[in-house]
Structure 1
Amino acid sequence: MPLRPVQTNIKAVDARALGHFWAEALGWSAYTPGVTTYVGPPGGLAWPDPVVLGIDIVPVPEPKPTTKNRLHIDLATTSATHQTELVARLRALSATPVDVGQGDVPWTVLADPEGNEFCVLEPREVYRDTGPVAAVVVDCADPRAMARFWGEATDWTLHEVTDDKAALRSAGGGGPYLEFLRTPGAKTAPDRIHLDLLPYPGDDKAAEVDRLRALGATDLDVGQGDVPWTCLADPEGHEFCVLALP
């Protein structure tokens, strides 16, 4: 059975501090049950969440390089006033404006306190029911090829595919979209942000990893050592992990 995306993984020098930033940004809560800090809806830690993609922040010693991340988060807003107020609140939380060549656009590009770029979108009908995270967006050379791979890799449904953009979303509705945007330039550095996937109960993780390799994924050594998860890269080199069932 295809895998389910369960969280966006962000590397950080100060995982707790960045976790609290994202919790405040999204109106969620930060939980630190172990080494990592998990950001998810308030009301107690529930993992995996049945609807939202949580954010798992992992401590690392190296700061973010100056290169733009190839994966980022888009935040949804419900009105022009909401967008303005959210940008002001995020800046008060230490987000900073960044120029990634976006030009004159209706959305606002910011960076979190560790330099990870994200966007605060103008109101869009398509994101009316996503919650605070509208989409997880991946820069790529070929959105159609990415849609084929990720559509087979996960149990999410393809909503849109063109030469410039592909979008998938959980078949159950709710939660964010996973979008692939045609973007100039090639991937040149390891991703600071990646997706984590999880098998369903009763599925064989090793068999799922083999299935992903047959779809074009490649094994990846990022110094993880002997761990229960498997690190892979998609056909364009974006890192992702297949987690072990809890």
Structure 2
Amino acid sequence: MTLRPVQVNIKALDAAAVGRFWAQALGWTAHSPGVTTYVGPGADLVWPDPVVVGIDVVPVPELKSPVKNRVHLDLATTSAAHQAELTARLRALGATPVHFGQGDVPWTVLADPEGNEFCVLEPREIYRDTGPIAAIVVDCVDPRAMARFWDEALDWTLHEVSDDQARLRSAQGVGPYVELIRTLDPKTVPDRVHLDLLPHADDDKEAEVSRLRALGATDLDLGQGDVPWTFLSDPEGHEFCVLALH
């Protein structure tokens, strides 16, 4: 019994507009089959995608707080010229530069039109085959402890665990990484961005939720009412959802 990340959930005042931004940013397509806007590769809606982790933009009435998101996307590039071109194109689409003390770093920090931070990375060999999203980055106080939780929670492979960071990736070696990066700042506000997980076809969702609770996840009541997914938080309080198969 294990789960797989199938999408990054982003909250937005204007879900359609933010979905269009991310579709253009990644070279993907925005689909709005219902209330949310799903962004994935290809003209046809395929969910869950067998390789990529998509983006689901969900409308909410609240503005993003000024606090930096603890979950963000890193975008991959193939050359210095590609990094510069992508950065310029993203700014033309409505992204804005962000400064929170990162200093002189080789990557570029931007925010989408509603202030959700992301990075355009310099070329790195490790991300040469991830697709446009290199990594889903989670800030955490204790990467080793978080790695233990997420390694048990997901059917992904754990790589490169240290006091400062840990990486997980699909056991098939495809798609983006999930990276747990050490930060000194504790979590103070609800996440604007979180992961959505899905059981495999032969697994039972409620059994998976019970297994996560035993690993240290806790239930969340966000006023969601009677919905087919389950809200939980990991041991450091990052929200995530376990979706229903149907």
In which range does the TM-score fall when normalised by the shorter chain?
over 0.9
Deviation at 1:160, TM superposition (A): 1.1
SS at match of 1:187: coil
State the one-letter code of the partner of 2:191: D
1: CA distance, partners of 2:100 / 2:217? 29
Q: Could you say which residue in structure 2 is the equivalent of 1:185?
A: 185
2: CA distance, partners of 1:184 / 1:151? 22
Deviation at 1:185, TM superposition (A): 0.9
Q: Could you say which residue in structure 2 is the equivalent of 1:220?
A: 220
1: CA distance, partners of 2:140 / 2:241? 18
After TM superposition, the score normalised by the length of structure 1 is: 0.99
1:17-53: per-residue Cα shift (whole Å, max 9, x none)? 0000000000000000000000000230000000000
Is it true that 1:111 corresponds to 2:92 in the alignment?
no
The percentage of aligned residue pairs carrying the same residue is: 77
After TM superposition, the score normalised by the length of structure 2 is: 0.99
1: CA distance, partners of 2:24 / 2:11? 18
SS at match of 2:167: strand
Q: Could you say which residue in structure 2 is the equivalent of 1:80?
A: 80
SS at match of 2:160: strand
SS at match of 2:168: strand
The Cα RMSD (Å) is: 0.5
Q: Could you say which residue in structure 2 is the equivalent of 1:126?
A: 126
1:98-118: per-residue Cα shift (whole Å, max 9, x none)? 002110000000000000000
1:109-147: per-residue Cα shift (whole Å, max 9, x none)? 000000000000000000000000000000000000111
Q: Could you say which residue in structure 1 is the equivalent of 2:166?
A: 166
SS at match of 1:109: strand
Segment drifting more, 82-91 vs 196-205 = 196-205
1:152-194: per-residue Cα shift (whole Å, max 9, x none)? 0000000110000000000011100000000111000000000
2: CA distance, partners of 1:118 / 1:63? 17
SS at match of 2:207: helix
Deviation at 1:202, TM superposition (A): 2.0
Q: Could you say which residue in structure 1 is the equivalent of 2:37?
A: 37
2: CA distance, partners of 1:234 / 1:17? 30
TM superposition outliers: structure 1 runs of 4+ over 6 Å: none
Q: Could you say which residue in structure 1 is the equivalent of 2:61?
A: 61
State the one-letter code of the partner of 2:192: R
User: Which consecutive residues of structure 1, in runs of 5 or more, have no partner in the other structure?
Assistant: none
